Structure 1
Amino acid sequence: MPTKLPNLLFDFGGVIINIDYNLTREAMRRHGSSIEFTQAAQAELFDLMETGRLTPEEFRQGLRKHYQLAATDPELDAAWNAMLLDVPAERLALIAELRAQGHQTALLSNTNQIHIEEINRRLREQYGFGHGIADCLDRVFYSQEVGWRKPGEEIFRHALEQMNWKAEETLFIEDSPQHIETARRLGLRTLFLTPPLTLQDALPAALRAFPREYSASV
């Protein structure tokens, strides 16, 4: 019997889409204040937004109040979206190739309604996707929609249960060490994607090494 191909669980930002947190911090600063937001940690306001406990309007009002920002709704949205860069076509092509080979795929992303709408709008315009990134994968799991966020275990368990995947048969591709740590604790295999490596650089080698743990390096 052929060996089952590993399931592929992708992070979004820094893995499929390029991001630069500094651009959002700089854009917010132009409206009056820096914000507490990095890849490793963020203020409670952002956690609440990413778990669907704030509407976009409540989030904007929270930004104005907490950081003394003087900006309109469109200006705040533009500053918040400034971190979102491009989705390279070669990454989408790699995912499509792996799906064609028989790999099951899913997205597991800490994100929010404003970012989801903006990214998917861009993908529709650039690539003609009817449903944005969901067109490229078997399933998407957004923290905004499921009510949990990484690095908590709940969102990983939810994705595995919904996909009917076993942890040991799943490769999690991520660029944040705290999320990798949770995945490993739950028994998933992991690919820690550290810059300047990209998905197309490191994923093929990680799949060849599967089920052994793979450490990408330049």
Structure 2
Amino acid sequence: MQNIKNIIFDYGNVIFDIDFKIAQASFQKLGITDIENFFAHKAHNQLFDDFETGAISPAEFRAGIRKAAHKPELTDAEIDAAWNSLLIGTIQENHDILLKVKGKYRTFLLSNNNEIHYDWIINYLKTTFELNNYDDYFEKAYFSQHMKLRKPNTNIFEQVLKDNNLNPAETLFIDDSPQHIEGAKKVGLNTLLMTEKPAQLESFLKANGII
């Protein structure tokens, strides 16, 4: 792409497969009803925003799930299993392509995440790929629970731009969520909506002239 020097990648459903339908079914099995309003791709209960910005602890998040399910007897393990059912995995090829992209651009990761998912992902990376984190694949990886900010709010994009002295006109943001794309546009970022599965990341980047 012309004039692009920096790329900010989302994680879920760009690099790493996640499945909202599986998580919805898991929450329903715990006893949560009205699942489309409680947890979906485009909207969800405030509980998730609070957890993703580090405003509440894992214990408080689990208490919120028990309350929503009307089941105080639910165990931490049951709740964590349901919540982590969202996470599917990634492929080595995506890590390889990230290194290739890093060779051409300054690259960053910007993910709405939370402590329970983050711990699961780090363990997954260690056991599956022998990676400790994503430090080698991006100049810097940003996670919402550490920043106390989340997409699509403009302040999270502004923080990444400021931290790294990035010109938004020279920076591309790639995400699978239309609402996040709209937030990025408000601060002047170039954007691409990920319309393929993470397994097609390389072909998607080639089709859009990034590699």
**CA displacement, residues 70-127 of structure 1 (integer Å, 9 cap, x when unaligned):** 421011101100010011111111001122x231111111110000110111001111
Q: Does structure 2 conserve the Cα–Cα contact (< 8 Å) formed by 1:13 and 1:19?
A: yes
Partner of 1:31: 30
Partner of 2:180: 179
Report how far residue 66 of structure 1 moved.
2.3
Distance 2:114 2:201 in 1: 23
Partner of 2:76: 73
- Over 3 Å counting, the alpha-carbon distance change for 1:168 and 1:112 in structure 2 is same
Q: How much is the aligned-residue C-alpha RMSD, in angstroms? A: 1.8
TM-score where L is the length of structure 1: 0.88
Partner of 2:166: 165
Partner of 2:9: 10
**CA displacement, residues 196-218 of structure 1 (integer Å, 9 cap, x when unaligned):** 57321211232359xxxxxxxxx
Q: Does structure 2 conserve the Cα–Cα contact (< 8 Å) formed by 1:129 and 1:135?
A: no
Give 5+ residue unaligned stretches, structure 1: 210-218
The amino acid across from 1:112 in the alignment is: N
- Over 3 Å counting, the alpha-carbon distance change for 1:86 and 1:179 in structure 2 is same
Partner of 2:66: 64
Q: Say whether residues 1:93 and 2:92 are aligned partners.
A: no
Which shifted more, 32-41 or 159-168? 32-41
Q: Does structure 1 conserve the Cα–Cα contact (< 8 Å) formed by 2:22 and 2:86?
A: yes
Distance 1:10 1:208 in 2: 12
Distance 2:195 2:19 in 1: 14
Distance 1:145 1:48 in 2: 12
Q: Percent identity?
A: 37
Q: Does structure 2 conserve the Cα–Cα contact (< 8 Å) formed by 1:120 and 1:133?
A: no
Which shifted more, 51-60 or 162-171? 162-171
Which shifted more, 64-73 or 19-28? 64-73
Q: Does structure 2 conserve the Cα–Cα contact (< 8 Å) formed by 1:81 and 1:118?
A: yes
Distance 1:134 1:117 in 2: 16
How many aligned residue pairs are there? 205
Partner of 1:121: 123
Distance 2:5 2:69 in 1: 44
Q: Does structure 1 conserve the Cα–Cα contact (< 8 Å) formed by 2:108 and 2:139?
A: yes
Partner of 2:114: 112
Distance 2:58 2:136 in 1: 25
